[in-house]
Every structure is written in structure tokens, then in C-alpha cells.
């Protein structure tokens, strides 16, 4: 029986031109060979399955080719190329650093570097997964990597560049390999399908390319798996069944149910998805990606960002026409919040169901919010509210408004609470006003802001209400709690432990213990003073900060003073000193 060779090995690129999706890197390497500007060390880094080791082998083969073509490709006919193709080349060494990561392994490699090549011009050392080398192995490798012999070239490959020490990185030319684009993958899979006489659907190939996530080797493995599953074809249905991927039809059905506000249908569809063995989190992520694709289809300029098959793309275009952009943005926001909350939720199924119900109710919530917003605008419109003493029926007609409303100069807004006129409903909306006829909402908002600023200025200038010590302490305590909620614990301790004292003429005195507390209080003085003025209805409050440092230093006694004190306590100490002829120590 003939041995089966997987597509990743059978169709592995043998020349620079056949490398998929890395044109900039292969062009740079070919120019380096043409101009004889080869570095002594290369570092190929990037995700798995994008061609790092393949490019390293092609580079090593092309360098030693005896009859290079004009396009800087190996001839595949000379002795050097033939020995490389049969894995018998003595000039190319491959080392797997994952299993050979000790100092001894690196020392053996360094010993081989000294010998000149037997055939060709260079000896090339390819070290795969170089980030697996130990710290001692890296240090042993430094000197040789910086100043190797003229015939030696090192090619290092890794998927985790951040694990390589900076001294190694500084000695290498670094090439960052990109993820393979979906279109490039689909083209390569289609080429293999034609070579192998396999019937393939373009939508099925797109599913494989998306599932591979930029790794061509993974895409080829999945391609072989589906071909084995179906016999000799790659279809869309076989791809989604074999790769455990949710069908696009589920997302289109879910979107239709959400747009029609059909909550039962959306919940039943989600239950069917769970019954088929799919995870709720994957459904949330997929639904978010579906709405993103719909948003992409809204504008022809962003249509190129949609990486799906032709048939699926037409479905997206059709559904995007019935989805307003505001609805899509609100749905994406809800799905993003649910995605963040999913792992921490104790009832994950309910979280997904709640999200679906919220999606089905987006339009209703949006209209209700808009109605509330219009109500607020009508309430705050200049001239809509009059003083308590004037309670006539308010009847405003602004159908023909052509310029912003102006505030009469002689009318000053009252700072005290005002009772609603009889012409307003419970929500404060004028009964005879039609919201749809408002044509200058922006002008009303500007006038509203100007009026509120004038009210605040008048209040700050005129309010001088008296307050007691207890009211001051109460407001002071409330502000301390606000500071605690903001996480300013040091400042909270200072404010909470030092109570203010009310002096004459609304002067508030606070006595602190040291300069550190005073500096903290100064940084908060403006906000604190504004809070007290607002809470106590007095714009003339003045805050005085006083520091009262109490220092009680301990007195230091001399040796003689200590001895005299002991003699006063017990006179026999002096007799003992005289009889033994003792001296006081220092």
C-alpha cells in the first residue's frame, strides 16, 4: 500500500516564489543573496504554521546552490541541491532547541562551526524553537553568534520572540512573519484541490481558512481531514460539520428573529444550538462577528473587510439593508458587555438568553429613551415655566419656529423650587406641544445651558443662609464619606478625625497636626469649600486651616545625673562606689 503524505509536507514550498503570504520577506532574502549582503545571523519569528522553518530551509538551499537562476532560485539539479532534497547535505544542520537546550548541545554545535564546508560556500545552522534554550546555553552561544567564521550562517526560528534575551536579538537580523491572509490560503487550497482532482466549494475553503486563524499548516491539516471525511470533496456543509463550526444560517435566522422582536423564536434557536453541542460563549462571539459583518456591508468602502465566500457575502448584503446602523451599534455594545461578563456569570445560559431578549427589545428602548429626552427638553425650554403666582393655561405653538428662542432680559429665573403650571402633565410635558414639530432642538439646548449657568451664578452671589455647628458637622461627615468612596483613604482619615469649628461671619476653622495633613487639605480645599457652600446654602463660607504641632521631646541625662538619681534612691550605691574605687562609665 502506498504511503500517504499529508498536504503540509507534500506541497511544502521548495522555492521562494512558492512561499505563500510572505512576499516582503522572500524578496528581502533574494535581494540579500543577489547583492551578497547576507548577515551572519537571522531570526525568523511569528505565529505557528506561517513558513519560518520553510523559508530557513529555502535560504540555506539557495545559498549553497551551484547554479542559481537569474531570479535567485535554486536549480534543483546541482549536487548541493540534490543532497539537500534527499536530506544528506553536510552543509546544513538543523537543531531542535526544544529537546537540545543544554549548554553541552550548544558547545557541540560551536565545535562544528570551525570546519569549512565540503561542498558549496556556506555551512548553515538552523535552530528551531530557539526560545527553549536555557539561560546558560544562550550565554555560551553569544560569542560565536556575534563573530562566527565567514562560512557560517545561523538561522534562528521562534514563535515567542519575547523570551529571547536582548543580547541575542541585537546580534540577529529580525524578520517578523505575518499571519497568512484568508484570500492567500483559499488560493493555495484551491491550487491543491486542482492538483489532487478534489471537488471543492469556495465557501468550504473559506471556512477552513477562517478556522486556521492565519496558520497555513493548520489549514492544510483540516483540508486533509475533510477530504478523508467526505471521500474526495470539500463542501461547505462538510466543513462546518467536521470542524464543529456554527452554520452561518443560524446567525441569519437569529438576526431575523431579533429584527422582528420575536423573543420566543430567538430563545428556541439558542436552545437548538445548545442541543447540537455548541457553547453559549461561542454563540455570543459568533453573533457579535455576524453583526460586525453586517456593519461592514453598510458601506462599499469597507466591503473589502468582509472575508467570506461569494454566496455568504450576498446574504450579508441583503440582510444589511434591513438593519439600521444605530441598531447594529447598540447590538454590538450589548454583545460586548455579555462577552466580558460570561466567564464570571454563575448562570451563563440565562446571561445569553437575557442578552437575546435585550437585543429583541432594542428599538422599543430606543424610542422610549428618545421620548424621555424630548420631555426634558420641553421642561427646560426658556419661558415654559413661570412663577407660582402666575398659573394660566400654557399653550405654546412652535410649528413655525425659524430662529432660536431668546430669553427676555427682564425675566430672571427664580432659584427656589417652582410648582408646575396647570398646563403641564405629570412628566412636565406641555399638553399642547407636538414633539415632531420641534425644528430647533439644538438652539433650545444652548439656551438651556446659558440659563442654568446664569442661575448658578445668581445663587452663588445671593445665598447667605445661616447654619449651625451641627449642620456644619453633618455636611463635613457627608463629604468625608464621598472622599472614602473615591478611594482617598489618607485624606479621608484627615477629614474624619478633625472636626471643623464655626467662627463668626461664616468662618470655618480646621486645626491639623502637621504640615503633611495641611498639604493634603490644600489640594482638596476648592472642592471641599464648594461642597460646603452648596450643602449649607451659603456662598460666603471661608475655610481657615491651622497647624498645631505638639512636640514633647524627651530629655537626655548625662551619666553623672543618672548616678546622682540612683544615689537619691539608695545611698548605699555611693558607699559601694567608694569602697570598690569604681569609676562612672561613658
Return the CATH number at 296: 1.20.272.10
Alpha-carbon distance of 474 to 492, in angstroms, equals 15
Is 367 inside a domain boundary? no
Is 146 inside a domain boundary? yes
Residue 153: which of 295, 40, 234 has the closest Cα? 40
Q: Do residues 110 and 161 share a domain?
A: yes
Alpha-carbon distance of 61 to 73, in angstroms, equals 9
Alpha-carbon distance of 365 to 396, in angstroms, equals 28
Q: Do residues 406 and 282 share a domain?
A: no
pTM > 0.75? no
The whole-number pLDDT of residue 367 equals 40
Alpha-carbon distance of 207 to 250, in angstroms, equals 15
Please say which residue of 405, 437, 460 terminates a domain. Answer: 460
Cα–Cα distances (Å) from 191 to 144, 220, 221, in that order, read: 43, 12, 15
State how many domains the chain has: 6
Helix-, strand-, coil-residue percentages of the chain, each rounded to 5: 55, 10, 35
Residue 117 and residue 64 in contact, taking contact as beta carbons nearer than 8 Å = yes
Q: Do residues 214 and 307 share a domain?
A: no
Residue 306 and residue 183 in contact, taking contact as beta carbons nearer than 8 Å = no
Alpha-carbon distance of 305 to 309, in angstroms, equals 12
Q: Do residues 167 and 18 share a domain?
A: yes
Residue 407 and residue 384 in contact, taking contact as beta carbons nearer than 8 Å = no
Please say which residue of 176, 210, 226 terminates a domain. Answer: 176
| Cell numbers 452663588: residue | 460
| Cell numbers 513558513: residue | 51
Please say which residue of 440, 460, 480 terminates a domain. Answer: 460
Is 373 inside a domain boundary? no
Count of CB atoms situated within 10 Å of the CB of 89: 23
Beta bridge partners of 153: 124
Show the domain range for 104: 7-176
Alpha-carbon distance of 531 to 10, in angstroms, equals 76
Is 313 inside a domain boundary? yes
Q: Do residues 154 and 254 share a domain?
A: no
Is 369 inside a domain boundary? no
Burial call 352-391: b when 16+ CB within 10 Å, e when fewer:
bbebbebbbebeeeeeeeeeeebbebbbbbbebbbeeeee
Burial of 517 (0-12, 13-18, 19+ CB in 10 A): buried
Compute φ and ψ for 563, nearest 5 degrees.
Answer: -70, -40
DSSP string covering 247-262: -HHHHHHHHHHHHTT-
Q: Do residues 317 and 189 share a domain?
A: no
Q: Do residues 451 and 340 share a domain?
A: no
* CATH number where 59 lies: 3.40.50.300
Is 368 inside a domain boundary? no
Residue 231, Cα to own-chain centre: how many angstroms?
Answer: 43
∠ CA 56-58-64, rounded to 5°: 105
Residue 208, Cα to own-chain centre: how many angstroms?
Answer: 27
What is the dihedral angle through the alpha carbons of 121, 125, 126, 132, rounded to the nearest 10 degrees?
-160
Q: Do residues 316 and 298 share a domain?
A: yes
Beta bridge partners of 155: 42, 126
Q: Do residues 192 and 291 share a domain?
A: no
Is 376 inside a domain boundary? no
Q: Do residues 28 and 106 share a domain?
A: yes
* CATH number where 196 lies: 1.10.8.60
| Per-residue pLDDT tens digits of the chain, which is 586 residues long | 457 788 888 888 888 888 888 899 999 999 999 888 888 899 999 988 888 999 999 998 899 888 888 888 888 888 888 888 888 888 888 888 888 888 888 888 888 888 888 777 888 999 998 899 888 888 888 888 888 888 899 999 999 889 888 988 988 999 999 888 888 889 999 999 988 888 888 888 888 888 888 888 888 999 988 888 888 888 888 888 888 788 888 888 899 999 888 899 999 998 988 888 888 898 899 899 999 988 888 887 887 788 777 778 888 888 888 888 888 999 999 999 999 998 888 898 999 999 999 999 886 444 444 444 444 433 444 444 444 444 444 444 444 444 444 444 444 444 444 444 444 444 444 444 444 444 444 444 545 554 545 444 444 445 678 888 888 888 888 888 888 888 788 888 888 888 888 877 778 888 888 888 888 888 888 888 888 888 888 888 888 888 875 544 456 678 888 888 888 888 888 888 888 888 776 5
Q: Which three cell numbers stand for residue 508?
A: 470655618
Q: Which three cell numbers stand for residue 366?
A: 430606543
Cα–Cα distances (Å) from 458 to 381, 419, 453, 476, in that order, read: 19, 20, 9, 25
Q: Do residues 139 and 34 share a domain?
A: yes
Is 382 inside a domain boundary? no
Beta strand pairing status for 501-502 and 507-512? antiparallel
The whole-number pLDDT of residue 419 equals 45
The whole-number pLDDT of residue 386 equals 41
Residue 175: which of 19, 41, 18 has the closest Cα? 41
The whole-number pLDDT of residue 514 equals 83
Q: Do residues 437 and 492 share a domain?
A: no
Amino acid at each position: 500500500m502506498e504511503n500517504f503524505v499529508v498536504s503540509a509536507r507534500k506541497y511544502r514550498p521548495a522555492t521562494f516564489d512558492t512561499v505563500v503570504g510572505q512576499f516582503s520577506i522572500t524578496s528581502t532574502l533574494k535581494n540579500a543573496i543577489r547583492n551578497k549582503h547576507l548577515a551572519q545571523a537571522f531570526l525568523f519569528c511569528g505565529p505557528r504554521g506561517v513558513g519560518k522553518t520553510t523559508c530557513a530551509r529555502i535560504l540555506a538551499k539557495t545559498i549553497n546552490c551551484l547554479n542559481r537562476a537569474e531570479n535567485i532560485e535554486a536549480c534543483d539539479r546541482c549536487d548541493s541541491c540534490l543532497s539537500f532534497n534527499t536530506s544528506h547535505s553536510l552543509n546544513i544542520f538543523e537543531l531542535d532547541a526544544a529537546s537540545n537546550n543544554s549548554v553541552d548541545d550548544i558547545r557541540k554545535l560551536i565545535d562544528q562551526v570551525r570546519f569549512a564546508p565540503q561542498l558549496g560556500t556556506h555551512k548553515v545552522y538552523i535552530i528551531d524553537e530557539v526560545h527553549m534554550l536555557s539561560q546558560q546555553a544562550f550565554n555560551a552561544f553569544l560569542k560565536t553568534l556575534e563573530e562566527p567564521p565567514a562560512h557560517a550562517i545561523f538561522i534562528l526560528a521562534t514563535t515567542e520572540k519575547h523570551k529571547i534575551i536582548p543580547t541575542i536579538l541585537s546580534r540577529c537580523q529580525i524578520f517578523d512573519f505575518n499571519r497568512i491572509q484568508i484570500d492567500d490560503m483559499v488560493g493555495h487550497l484551491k491550487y491543491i484541490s486542482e492538483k489532487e482532482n478534489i471537488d471543492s466549494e469556495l465557501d468550504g475553503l473559506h471556512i477552513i481558512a477562517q478556522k486556521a486563524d492565519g496558520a497555513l499548516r493548520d489549514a492544510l491539516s483540516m483540508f486533509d481531514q475533510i477530504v478523508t471525511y467526505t471521500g474526495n470533496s470539500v463542501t461547505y456543509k462538510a466543513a462546518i460539520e467536521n470542524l464543529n463550526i456554527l452554520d452561518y444560517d443560524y446567525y441569519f435566522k437569529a438576526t431575523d428573529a431579533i429584527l422582528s422582536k420575536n423573543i420566543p423564536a430567538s430563545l428556541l434557536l439558542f436552545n437548538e444550538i445548545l442541543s447540537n453541542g455548541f457553547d453559549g460563549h461561542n454563540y455570543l462571539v459568533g453573533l457579535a462577528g455576524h453583526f460586525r459583518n453586517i456593519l461592514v456591508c453598510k458601506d462599499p468602502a469597507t466591503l473589502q473587510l468582509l472575508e467570506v465566500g461569494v454566496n455568504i457575502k450576498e446574504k450579508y448584503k441583503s440582510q444589511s439593508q434591513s438593519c439600521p446602523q444605530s441598531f447594529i451599534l447598540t447590538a454590538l455594545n450589548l454583545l460586548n458587555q455579555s462577552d466580558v461578563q460570561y466567564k464570571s456569570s454563575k448562570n451563563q445560559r440565562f446571561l445569553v438568553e437575557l442578552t437575546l431578549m435585550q437585543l429583541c427589545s432594542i428599538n422599543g428602548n430606543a424610542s422610549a429613551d428618545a421620548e424621555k429626552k424630548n420631555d426634558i427638553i420641553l421642561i427646560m425650554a426658556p419661558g415654559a415655566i413661570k412663577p407660582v403666582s402666575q398659573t394660566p393655561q400654557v399653550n405654546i405653538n412652535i410649528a413655525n419656529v425659524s430662529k432660536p428662542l431668546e430669553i427676555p432680559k427682564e425675566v430672571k429665573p427664580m432659584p427656589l423650587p417652582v410648582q408646575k403650571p396647570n398646563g403641564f402633565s405629570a412628566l412636565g410635558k406641555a399638553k399642547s406641544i407636538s414633539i415632531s414639530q420641534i425644528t430647533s432642538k439644538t438652539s433650545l439646548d444652548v439656551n438651556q445651558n446659558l440659563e442654568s449657568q446664569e442661575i448658578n451664578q445668581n445663587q452663588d452671589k445671593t445665598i447667605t443662609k445661616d447654619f449651625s455647628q451641627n449642620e456644619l458637622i453633618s455636611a463635613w461627615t457627608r463629604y468625608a464619606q464621598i472622599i472614602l468612596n473615591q478611594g482617598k483613604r489618607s485624606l479621608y482619615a484627615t477629614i474624619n478625625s478633625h472636626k471643623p469649628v464655626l467662627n463668626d461671619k461664616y468662618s470655618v476653622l480646621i486645626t491639623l497636626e502637621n504640615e503633611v495633613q495641611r498639604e493634603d487639605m490644600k489640594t482638596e480645599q476648592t472642592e471641599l469649600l464648594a461642597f460646603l457652600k452648596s450643602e449649607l446654602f451659603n456662598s460666603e463660607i471661608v475655610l481657615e486651616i491651622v497647624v498645631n504641632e505638639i512636640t514633647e521631646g524627651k530629655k537626655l541625662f548625662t551619666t553623672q545625673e543618672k548616678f546622682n538619681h540612683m544615689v537619691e534612691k539608695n545611698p548605699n550605691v555611693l558607699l559601694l562606689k567608694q569602697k570598690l574605687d569604681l569609676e562612672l562609665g561613658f
